[in-house]
Amino acid sequence: MSTSTLLPPASATVPASGVELPSVSFFGRTLAEYAQFFALDPATLRGRAVLDVAAGPASFTAEACKLGVDAVAVDPLYGCPATTLATHVQLDYAKMFEQM
């Protein structure tokens, strides 16, 4: 099964890392990664509402909720069956590892 059967291709650009994923990838991040990427202090989010759009399989929302953040994750892929998502992740990882 190719990735294109799971999702329509997105416009692709090659990032500085040189890894090319010509479709939407189902990939997520942790609270610590978001904090580092966006220079966030998670404590300042406590009691505030946060929407993680295109969240993928990120643990961010669960971790943020444990800290008292009113966090919600949304992703259009959440409507897919778990088996489809698992296949999608396997294909994405295979593509990334081929390029490393």
Q: If you write DSSP's letter for every residue of 12-29 in order, what string do you get?
A: ----TT-----B------
Structure confidence by residue, pLDDT tens digits, 53-72: 988 888 999 999 999 999 99
Specify the DSSP element, H or E, that contains 93.
Answer: helix 82-98
Structure confidence by residue, pLDDT tens digits, 74-90: 988 888 898 988 888 88
Per-residue pLDDT, averaged over 17-33, amounts to 73
Comparing 73 with 76, the larger pLDDT belongs to 73
pTM of the model: 0.66
The domain segmentation of the chain, as residue ranges, is: 3-98
Rounded percentage of the chain residues whose pLDDT exceeds 70: 76
Number of helices (H), then strands (E), in the chain: 3, 2
Amino acid letter, 59: S
